[in-house]
Structure 1
């Protein structure tokens, strides 16, 4: 009897430990690491499984140091403990640490070898993985061979994958499916078809791989043919085909398939709801959501996302409040929706309520502050972030750039550890946005010196810098580099090349670039039209505009800015007014300040100043410096001091530190003989510009870009010289009765 009680006690103790171990794993999956730790601490009779469960929880939640510490505390470790720790390193991409642990293992099983081979293949270190495969003692174990095949196939090295496949002493179905997955996941469907047809054995996984491959290759017809031939489709088969229809906007077909499903699991319900959300049919999505027999976190989060996408934030908040267990994905979805709609303070409150925060959550909140220009709060949150990834750093660089703080953006960039191409692009784009074109090109050069390869965004931004500097030779060198790099067929880059050549005065080269593009888009047409306008080719601009319309391309705001600019340069006032009317009435485009600026410039050049001023006063949009600058320039040409003073005062309000505005107004006063006003403006200009960044000009000389900074003692002070020269010119005209200064130089 005592023996039976002892056995019963041991069994009960074992059950209790097993249940506790399961509870630890369950809490770990929910991200409740501290609760899992408390359960672990309360287990009196801990076994290997208890320790292994807790190590897994730490590792899968990114707390590898704690996992390692617990592993080190174990007095006795079995081979599963070693494998668990290696798997933990693998989960966190810590290959070197995994390899070191593997090297000191007292014994290894087939799973240990397969783990390490998988570890190296995931990091792309295929040679090391292959070396390890050669050392595997049990050559008949298929897991290691399959891991190697999967590694080669994932990288698209099909010849190597096939070679390993043929060398295998024993092949199982997983081996065949690993090879097939390599073809289908890389879009090699013709190779996949041939391999599938010669497979000696197939299971539902094989069929599903083929269906998924065709779906990803946008061949829904072939995917459907394969789906209908599956002997016994499982839930994955149905959901794969369902998602294929949904992804390509075939919602009716997706719904018919969903209704046909013999057994709907939560994944299939979620897939159909997600399809409706993607198609913005939120009412249908909600209707289906309410019919679901069981809802998981994905279901709730999908509906929240749906409401967010259609701007129904109150409804999203209501669903969030009804959610029985609010996971981090749902909270992040709600937070992102609030941020997108400018409700940053509400998003901040949601963020503060989060217990566990992942990188996506932190980055979303930081991005929200950046988008709102609240860089102080963004930076404070950035500093608090426990583990920063590349997205975090890049968001801060872009944020500081957007508010014009390029010195801070550069500091963040320099403080980064590993910089990816997005980091470089964020910095270069920031310099470009803030008119620091030389710094943008210098960064492009540094990128190359550090061994990074530019992408299409890098090239496009660098070409834009060349365009704004009119640095033709540097732009040509970039063009040659682009040809060698293989990005010449990228539409983004081609459009930047059109703009660069046009702004550098090489219209024929811009035209040739346009002709070389296989499939032009609206940006291509706009770049060409703007290029014609900038260089005074009004007839060509009108031809391009008409050609664009004939090809079915719908113009946008930028198109009309280019066309109105072309009219300005050619003095085509009536055509410009007709275009302005056409833009509003025929294309329903609301005029921007830039359109009004072109119109004012156009009328001003024709001497129709009162008409131009009436347009400015009747505008529905806020005026900008360009618009008042156009009016001021026209007033100077036509000697209208009254309107000129109004335009100048508006300009000085908008740009108090822009010296050119003072110079133009000073010239007008000088030409009118108002010398006291000239002197007053010179003093005011110096006062307003005190403590501000100096002006900068540049010129390309012998393939080098030379820059000139105002107030540089080593350079001439051109602003004062301009005012003095104009003052002297005006004096000479008054005293000598000379109307044309050219005649003076002819006499001299």
Structure 2
């Protein structure tokens, strides 16, 4: 009998040791060895199965874990919780939730684990549903999870309602409720709650100090800091960092020197304060004085050198670091990228043994910023755990180099998208002149349930402006009002431009006047809007108002003002403005400014003066300059200068035929019919290479696009037939004079 008991004991000890070994192998990533050991075991107990399920789960082999779970002879609470934890660890919340529902007997651990995961994912409604079905109504931990997550999401009213319903509260509950106010900047409510707290500790005081710092009220923060009965290191560091954030380094250092006990975190906070204020020498001096350093100390100092562009010192410090951290190496990679030394950045990147998401994203973003998307794509494919930043970076990268097909391909591969993903795609379409695609994407965004932000609305309005889609623009304006973005400067400026480009200058004016705050872009948008709609005097008047208010004009301001002068014959005023650019504002004129002056002089009939301006240019003329002269030559019938302008224009834009058409019309008006025929022959040579023209019209909130010589629209044959009939009828009218000619190319 004793011998049998001894054998059982030995066997149990052997199984225990093997179970432990399976767990150790799983932690070190040796999953195959763990599987082999498990399969060779002759005696397995529930702990053995649980260890193997955990091993599979930690190594991402959830299907194998589930198969083993399903064939287990006996399961206990640990078995269920281990399988659920495995799913949650790999973000398989739905599978975990289904398993929780099937669980025959649930314990507090399972409920809390599931609840925490749902709240962290932002699925508060589902979490609340689960919370309401909890059998453990007196479990404070679950109540605290819900209150904390409501607070993080800014839903402090719901947090307070739940707090008031709590049957039992602990110190954590009170502090979580207080943090719901302080983290959301509700310091009046926070102060009232703090004063009524049943229990306060140093955490409560620290929350109040930090809350006031977040809203920029350093006086109140210092008042509370001075009243803390027993300060801890967090109290000192919070106040110290608050001063540093506002640039008051002297006060930060005063507090640091007064600290009775400094730990590594305090030293790190002071070094970080110096680094963020670009006082790298002071940071280095403090770093050298540190009695003990940790990984954060080294990383902060290395990042500081990178920040001020001293890459050699940063690299030297990294080489001295006892154990190189991924964060420190990533800081060096970021520094090389900022200096466009991509090969050096990649060299450091290859040396990083344990790359995290930030490290991967930094390197991919570097290649994307440089337009080296092939290398970015290679890293993107190698990266195992991609996050939204990774995907969005790739979309932005392809958009920057004009490859919107690839950007769209990446976008469509995404399983989860956020508002940044949509904004990246819409902005990409806009940047590449695909306003119709941008507007359609904006509409799809709303259909898929993603709530637009200020950037989405600004991009949507810009697309409407480019397409002159007024009715759609009005609808977007209504959405802006509903979402409360009307006073957002970014959105307000986009609204001004949209209404101006759609010919609704009074609406643009109202938006401009109603903005609580305006910036240079607001002024420029309104000045340009007046100019676009033929209100040159108003454009100049607004320019003068802007200057009187102390706003300094830029290149764009002068383009708008000069354009307004050009369209209204304000030659003297325009020349005065042009002269003031260099003499008063020290702004060197761009080719666009010269084009405005040439157009202004030409419209006033001062063609030779305009030509003299072109000949006297210090910078090389472009198609815009010669195009402006060509158009005014046509208006005033100056064939001599028109020929010169047309010849120059063709040199810049050989693929475009607009200059030939203008010159042909000028020669027709002058009666040079032989030369007109030569022009028509030249046009036919260009016809095959000519890009099809594109027009669009807005009908019943729908934009219809038409390409020339591409009969894809419905009833196009019928429309063409009617147009030909109208043309024939016009030609036969007696009222059409002999010298009136219609040319169809």
The answer to whether structure 1 residue 336 and structure 2 residue 337 are counterparts is no
Give the distance between the partners of 1:589 and 1:50, measured in 2 at CA: 77
**8 Å CA contact 1:24, 1:40 repeated in 2:** no
**8 Å CA contact 2:465, 2:499 repeated in 1:** yes
**8 Å CA contact 1:51, 1:70 repeated in 2:** no
Report the Cα offset of residue 529 of structure 1.
0.5
Match of 2:6 in 1: none
Question: 1:160 and 1:466, CA in 2 relative to 1: closer, same or farther beyond 3 A?
Answer: closer
Report the Cα offset of residue 654 of structure 1.
4.5
Give the distance between the partners of 1:585 and 1:81, measured in 2 at CA: 81
Match of 1:660 in 2: 658
User: Which residues in structure 2 correspond to 1:149-548 (within 5 Å)?
Assistant: 149-548=147-546
Per-residue CA deviations over 1:31-72 (Å, capped at 9, x if unaligned) read: xx6599999999999999999999999978x94749958996
Give the distance between the partners of 1:53 and 1:210, measured in 2 at CA: 45
Question: 1:700 and 1:88, CA in 2 relative to 1: closer, same or farther beyond 3 A?
Answer: same
Mean Cα displacement is larger for which, 188-197 or 540-549?
A: 188-197
Query: Secondary structure at the residue paired with 1:489?
Result: coil
Give the distance between the partners of 1:492 and 1:650, measured in 2 at CA: 40
Query: Secondary structure at the residue paired with 2:267?
Result: helix
Give the distance between the partners of 2:294 and 2:55, measured in 1 at CA: 21
Match of 1:3 in 2: none
Give the distance between the partners of 2:360 and 2:616, measured in 1 at CA: 46
Report the Cα offset of residue 528 of structure 1.
0.7
Give the distance between the partners of 1:249 and 1:42, measured in 2 at CA: 60
Aligned pair partner of 2:599 in 598, 601, 604 = 601
Provide the TM-score with structure 2 as the length reference: 0.81
Question: 1:346 and 1:614, CA in 2 relative to 1: closer, same or farther beyond 3 A?
Answer: farther
Mean Cα displacement is larger for which, 362-371 or 230-239?
A: 362-371
Report the Cα offset of residue 639 of structure 1.
6.2
Match of 1:686 in 2: 687
User: Which residues in structure 2 correspond to 1:519-598 (within 5 Å)?
Assistant: 519-598=517-596
User: Which residues in structure 2 correspond to 1:699-714 (within 5 Å)?
Assistant: 699-701=697-699, 703-713=701-711, 714=716
Report the Cα offset of residue 527 of structure 1.
0.8
Query: Secondary structure at the residue paired with 1:698?
Result: strand
**8 Å CA contact 2:630, 2:642 repeated in 1:** yes
Match of 2:9 in 1: none
Question: 1:439 and 1:102, CA in 2 relative to 1: closer, same or farther beyond 3 A?
Answer: closer
Per-residue CA deviations over 1:491-540 (Å, capped at 9, x if unaligned) read: 22221111111112222111111111111222111111001111222221
Provide the TM-score with structure 1 as the length reference: 0.81
Give the distance between the partners of 2:231 and 2:68, measured in 1 at CA: 43
Give the distance between the partners of 1:247 and 1:466, measured in 2 at CA: 40
Per-residue CA deviations over 1:414-441 (Å, capped at 9, x if unaligned) read: 3332332222222222222222222222
**8 Å CA contact 1:36, 1:54 repeated in 2:** no
Question: 1:342 and 1:613, CA in 2 relative to 1: closer, same or farther beyond 3 A?
Answer: farther
Query: Secondary structure at the residue paired with 1:200?
Result: coil
**8 Å CA contact 1:23, 1:36 repeated in 2:** no
Give the distance between the partners of 1:665 and 1:47, measured in 2 at CA: 94
For structure 1, list consecutive stretches of 5 or more residues without a partner in the other structure. Answer: 1-12, 729-734
Query: Secondary structure at the residue paired with 1:596?
Result: helix
Give the distance between the partners of 1:320 and 1:606, measured in 2 at CA: 67
**8 Å CA contact 1:670, 1:678 repeated in 2:** no
Query: Secondary structure at the residue paired with 1:302?
Result: helix
Question: 1:343 and 1:37, CA in 2 relative to 1: closer, same or farther beyond 3 A?
Answer: farther
**8 Å CA contact 1:37, 1:54 repeated in 2:** no
Query: Secondary structure at the residue paired with 2:476?
Result: helix
Q: Aligned pair count?
A: 708
Q: CA RMSD in A?
A: 4.4
Match of 2:7 in 1: none
Report the Cα offset of residue 196 of structure 1.
1.7
Give the distance between the partners of 1:285 and 1:66, measured in 2 at CA: 51
Give the distance between the partners of 1:21 and 1:617, measured in 2 at CA: 84
Give the distance between the partners of 1:235 and 1:229, measured in 2 at CA: 15
Give the distance between the partners of 1:702 and 1:113, measured in 2 at CA: 53
**8 Å CA contact 1:669, 1:678 repeated in 2:** no
Query: Secondary structure at the residue paired with 2:698?
Result: strand
Give the distance between the partners of 1:219 and 1:71, measured in 2 at CA: 58
Query: Secondary structure at the residue paired with 2:487?
Result: coil
Report the Cα offset of residue 76 of structure 1.
9.5
Report the Cα offset of residue 544 of structure 1.
0.9
Mean Cα displacement is larger for which, 658-667 or 71-80?
A: 71-80
**8 Å CA contact 2:660, 2:679 repeated in 1:** no
**8 Å CA contact 2:329, 2:348 repeated in 1:** yes
Mean Cα displacement is larger for which, 358-367 or 503-512?
A: 358-367
**8 Å CA contact 2:25, 2:33 repeated in 1:** no
**8 Å CA contact 1:328, 1:357 repeated in 2:** yes
Give the distance between the partners of 1:263 and 1:47, measured in 2 at CA: 51
Report the Cα offset of residue 271 of structure 1.
2.2
Report the Cα offset of residue 187 of structure 1.
2.3
Report the Cα offset of residue 696 of structure 1.
0.8
Report the Cα offset of residue 21 of structure 1.
12
**8 Å CA contact 1:463, 1:496 repeated in 2:** yes
Give the distance between the partners of 1:602 and 1:364, measured in 2 at CA: 49
